[in-house]
Structure 1
Amino acid sequence: MNKDRLKDEGNALITQKHQISKAQGKLTELHQSLDIMQNEQAQNRQKLDSLMSDMEALLADIDPNMAEMDSNQEQEALISLQKELDSMQVEIHSDLHTIDELDSVVFNENMSWGEYIDSFNDYAKRNHIDLSKDPFENLMSKTQQIELQKRIKEEFSIKNAQCDKYDYLIAGACGLIGGLVDILFVGKPGESKLGGWIDEQANNATKKFAKLCGWKPKEGKENSVKSAIGFLEKKFKVNYDHRHTADTGGKVCNMSAKNHHLKSLGHSPDIIGLFFSILNQFTNTATFVSNGEIITIDTENFELQGGNFIAKIFCGFANWFGHLASDWTGSSGADGRGSGISIPFYNLFQLCDFGRFGEKHQETFAVVTSKVFESGYDFRHGLTMAIPVVITELIIRFMYVMKQRFYHGREWKECMPNSSVPELRRMLLVGHGVLCTMDGIDATIRSGGPLANPVEFLLHTNLIGWVNFGQLALREVYAWWNVGKMDIEAVDEYLGKDLRAMIRR
């Protein structure tokens, strides 16, 4: 939120608070005036009762034979009664005073935010309200400010983890389990026990998606993933699906059917791929990344469907997603497993045209990562590598909850495994650190070392685990560096929880 906007909203609350205070003061004045009126009415009733009593006494003193008086005598009696009444001095007075009209902020439904700001600023000037200071200091009393500061420090500030030895033992054991799953069941592409199962699930997903899009396989082809892929390739055609260097006029070097999904930016299953896919479809171009360079070439005219700009954007997105669905399990003409699409953001390694690796030290890091991809290190293998990472994550969170509930004796609602909890954050770092350490040792042993055989080393490396560990390490360093400062994630989580509660109501 804009800082000036937040200050303006605070100042608006200050003026509203001032209006409420003035209104309460006016109500107090009204109550006082009403009390005075009620007291005066009571006094007047007493005086009126006294007058009635006096009149009755005067009437009683009149001669009963007054009816027989002549007119002159009757007139004299009435004059005598009037003199008696005049002799009673009844003074009716009132202490009521005029109540001034309550000032207010000019407002109507058609006002803009700027006009409303001008309106409450005018109100502030008329009532001598200082809006130059921090408005939120004036909205709370000193006691409320102290309580808020204490709560922020206890609940919303970044803290160091206070882990005991059992926390570290639990995290290390969970990381060991994840590491064993990674070494024994993941391994490298083509030799992975879990990888074969993931490939099968990917093929089933492709066939289901093709059926949703209208695929009607011929008799005997119901289980043919190649047929489903071919259907999707025809339905979701794109103009940037070049497969060989010759297709690009020689501008993209060393491109083949095995790596064109890596070098083509439109084939990347991330925000970068979406951007370049729609851009290429709109501009009849194709964008590639190779040997540290981004290369754009013109393509044949490609008509993007849609009656307006928004419709064309949607159709561009549908083409991008549908084409990825046809490519992530290989192409229809590929032999065997086929070359899928890259792991999200993996194609950015093609910009890393530096270093000298391999036996003859002639391959750059971009070339090495390209060879790794060609060996099956694709999106499907990325899902396989995510399995031990997810297992480690879930076991650590589960064990954290159990320890908090049964060892520390806390209520269930206090045992939620939120990542903002410092102790859980540290346990995740340790657990995933153990996983990555085991993965790195395994990759080094199987490849002979990262420098001796970098391709084989990377094929045995769990990239998903290392990326996740890197994120956790950065969070821990950030927490260590900013101890005592505001934890924005905790505040967002708290506000989100309150907002969801309000929506449910």
Structure 2
Amino acid sequence: MSKYRYTELEQQLNNVLVHQDKELARIAFPDTKDIDENIRQSEELLRSLGVKFPNGASLAVQEIPKKVMVVPSWESLCLEAEAAVGNQCVLEDLFTAEELQTNEQAIVALNEEYNQLHRLDKYDITISATAGLLAAAVEILLVGIPQKTPEGLKGGVLANYVRDYFDKRYPEAEMEKLANSKVSKVPYDAQDNRNTVVNVEGLSTYYHRLLSLGHDPLLGLVIGVADIMTGRMTTIDKTGKAVSQVIDGYANRTEKDIFFAIAKQITHFKSDITTSMGLPAPLMGLFNLLQFGNIGDEDQTIAEIVQGMYYEGYDFIHFCTLSIPVMIAEVVTRLGYAIKRIKEGHPVKESIPLSTNHEKHPKLGTMLFIGHSAATAVNAGKVYFTKNPMAINYPQWLAFGKYSYQQLKWVLIEKPEARDAFVRGTINEQLDEVLLSVDETFTDISREYIVVIG
């Protein structure tokens, strides 16, 4: 018995095929191996008797009237098959044990053919690992760990370059003037609890941008804009308590038009980006909700660790600097993938690695996962040996999380389905060729008959 549950139509087809197979096996076909020799001897005998064959033809052929071919209907075939072999036939009944084994080997070969399309070779692995290690080296040697100095926050060469760029692009004097202008005043910018209705634990000049979700470079585009339009301040304080409130003296900083609210939000971001306690890294304020953990010698919670990181200079500018090694891993992997594909003979258009879709670019998603895994592993080692949370490459861990999810989804869900579709598609193509051949054969035979559907 087959483990496959057949539909009604498939079961009928199985019954008919098994019945017709048994009928064919009962037919005793004459031995035709000596027919050609017999025809030749007959022609020689006729010639010896004086019979002439004009134009090399044998005997004159008289036109034979067409016979009638009755093709039974599908319903009658099904009834005949069920009467002869029952209605529980399975497809395996059509094959011998040797044929079934051959079929199984063919399926295994098709599965292996599909797997080979997505299996990384040594060059793919080399490209991925090199990209990850290069990104890790840039982070360790050129980004470093930011430290507060009399000259401000300083880190590695690349970190200092990026911070200096922001300082030049947004000069302190201009940003201070912008911060004091009406165009950048927002209702969620209270720096202490003097005017708050509900006390926000930890609200101060040092932490107000971390606690206020309107200052988040990502969440601020939604929550910050909403606060500007409603005159509110939405916060998650140092104890993890979420509060949304209207503060006296700040409610007049609203904008009713959403486009003006978005413009004010972006302007406020600009005025805060190079301050001594600048904008937090994206989603950093949400870590205030994680009021658990006993980390380090002081048994700090995750929220307390993140608050300390922000205080020490882990801000939006540092996040941008840390994103550079992540981009290096991304670009090197994709560039290496494209060059290799082109050298293998694929068209340039099909080799451009913009999408990680496994059907368009079979190996790219896995290569990016390996590259970012290598970079993340090095960063984890750096954090472990330095015992310093400031060494965490937050963008790299975000990239690792993204590609880990995509790879897990691919391996567990998408790949088995895609492989099954590939195998079925190949089998269907072969079946179409067989059906076409059957149609052509029937057309040739039926020329001499009047076909009637019974």
TM-score (norm 2): 0.60
Deviates more, 1:338-347 or 1:243-252: 243-252
1:376-420 superposed Cα distances (whole Å, 9 cap, x missing partner):
1111001100111111111111111111122x2322223221322
Which of 166, 169, 182 pairs up with 1:205? 169
- Among 142, 157, 161, which residue is 2:118 paired with? 161
Q: 1:277 Cα shift?
A: 2.1
Tell me, yes or no, if the aligned pair for 1:244 and 1:257 is still in contact at 8 Å.
yes
Aligned equivalents of 1:324, 1:378: Cα separation in 2: 13
On the 8 A contact 1:419/1:425 being kept in 2, the answer is: yes
Residues 1:317 and 2:257 aligned together:
no
Structure 1 residue aligned with 2:130: 173
**1:465 equivalent among 384, 396, 412:** 396
Distance 1:339-1:319 versus aligned 2 partners, 3 A rule: same
Change (3 A) 1:339 1:304: closer
User: In structure 2, what is the equivalent of residue 262 of structure 1?
Assistant: 210
**Residue 347 of structure 2, aligned match among 411, 434, 441:** 411
The structural deviation recorded for 1:294 is: 0.5
Q: Check if 1:388 corresponds to 2:319.
A: no
Question: 1:246 Cα shift?
Answer: 4.2
TM-score, length-scaled by structure 1: 0.54
Check conservation: 2:187, 2:254, Cα contact below 8 A.
no
Kept in 2: contact 1:274–1:317 (CA 8 A): yes
Q: Does 1:286 align with 2:233?
A: yes
SS in 1 for 2:222: helix
Could you list the per-position Cα deviations for residues 325-358 of structure 1 after superposition, in whole angstroms to 9, with x for gaps in the alignment? Answer: 101111xxxxxxx111111112111111112234
Rounded Cα–Cα distance in structure 2 between residues aligned with 1:464 and 1:305: 33
AA of the residue aligned to 2:386: R
CA drift of 1:180 comes to: 0.5
| Residue 422 of structure 2 corresponds to residue 474 of structure 1 | no
Equivalent position of 1:230 in the other structure: 177
Map of 2:248 onto structure 1: 300
CA 1:241–1:305 in structure 2 vs 1: closer, same or farther (change >3 Å)? closer
The answer on whether the counterparts of 2:197 and 2:246 sit within 8 Å (CA) in structure 1 is no
Q: Displacement, 1:254?
A: 2.0
The equivalent of 1:342 in structure 2 is 280
Structure 2 distance, partners of 1:244, 1:273, is 20
Secondary structure class of the residue paired with 2:118: coil
In the alignment, is residue 248 of structure 1 matched against residue 248 of structure 2? no
| C-alpha deviation, 1:424, in angstroms | 1.1
Task: Say if 1:269 and 1:324, in contact at 8 Å, map to a contact too.
Answer: yes
Instruction: Tell me the residue number matched to 1:211.
Output: none
Q: Distance in 1 between matches of 2:350 and 2:263?
A: 44
Q: 2:274 is matched with which residue?
A: 329
Q: Secondary structure of the residue that 1:422 maps to in structure 2? A: coil
SS in 2 for 1:248: coil
Once the two structures are TM-superposed, the CA of residue 372 in structure 1 deviates from its matched residue by 0.6
For the 8 Å contact 1:281–1:316, the answer to whether it is kept is yes
2:217–2:269 Cα contact (<8 Å) kept: yes
| Alpha-carbon distance, 1:304 to partner | 5.6
The equivalences for 1:214-225 within 5 A come to: 224-225=171-172
**CA positional deviation for 1:468:** 0.2
RMSD: 2.6
Query: How many Å separate the matches in 2 of 1:253 and 1:446?
Result: 31
For residues 444 and 258 of structure 1, the distance between their equivalents in structure 2, rounded to whole angstroms, comes to 28
Q: How many Å separate the matches in 2 of 1:284 and 1:304?
A: 7
1:422 — aligned with what?
362
Structure 1 residues 231, 304: closer, same or farther in 2, change over 3 A? closer
Q: Which residue of 1 aligns with 2:145?
A: 188
* Separation (CA, whole Å) in 2 of partners of 1:292 and 1:254: 11
For 1:393, the aligned partner's letter is E
Measure the CA separation in 2 of the matches of 1:423 and 1:264: 42
Report the Cα distance in structure 2 between the residues aligned to 1:397 and 1:256, rounded to whole angstroms.
44
In structure 2, distance between residues paired with 1:352 and 1:399? 40
1:371 equivalenced with 2:311 (yes/no): no
Aligned partner of 1:351 in structure 2 is: 289
| The 10-residue stretch of structure 1 (194-203 or 318-327) with the greater mean CA deviation from structure 2 | 194-203
Q: CA shift at 1:427, angstroms?
A: 0.9
User: Taking structure 1 as reference, are residues 160 and 465 closer, same or farther at Cα in structure 2, changes over 3 Å only?
Assistant: farther
State the shift of 1:255 in Å. Answer: 2.4
User: For the Cα contact (< 8 Å) 2:197–2:247, is it kept in 1?
Assistant: no
Offset of residue 284 of structure 1: 2.8
SS at match of 2:202: coil
CA contact (8 A) 1:158 1:486 kept: no
| Distance in 2, Cα, partners of 1:256 & 1:381 | 22
Q: CA deviation at 1:484?
A: 4.6
Q: Which amino acid aligns with 2:273?
A: W
Residues 211, 285 of structure 2: 8 Å contact kept: yes
Give the Cα–Cα distance (whole angstroms) in 1 for the partners of residues 289 and 220 of structure 2.
Answer: 15
Match of 2:380? Answer: 440
SS in 1 for 2:364: helix
> Which consecutive unaligned segments of at least 5 residues does structure 2 have?
1-109, 147-153, 420-454
Name the SS of the counterpart of 2:281 in structure 1: coil
Q: Give 1 or 2 for the bigger CA radius of gyration.
A: 1
Q: Is 1:285–1:297's contact at 8 Å kept on the other side of the alignment?
A: yes
**C-alpha deviations, 1:141-172, integer Å up to 9, x for none?**
xxxxxxxxxxxx99xx9998321122112211
Q: Is the 8 A contact 1:304 1:316 kept in 2?
A: no
Structure 1 vs Structure 2: percent identity of aligned residues?
Answer: 27
Amino acid at match of 2:350: E
